[in-house]
Amino acid sequence: MGSSLVHVIRRVNNPMMLAMADYVARYVADNAYRLELPDDERQRLVDGFRRVAAMTSSIITYGYDHAVSSALFDVAGMPEALLARLRDQEVKASLADAKIELGL
d(CA 91, CA 81): 15
Backbone angle region of 76, left / alpha / beta, with phi > 0 → left and psi within -120 to 50 → alpha: alpha
Which of the given ranges, 1-5, 59-63, 93-97, has the highest pLDDT on average? 93-97
pLDDT band at 11 (very low <50, low <70, confident <90, very high): confident
d(CA 41, CA 34): 13
d(CA 3, CA 60): 10
pLDDT of 5 higher than 70: no
For the chain, the average pLDDT equals 87
61 or 38, higher pLDDT = 38
5 or 84, higher pLDDT = 84
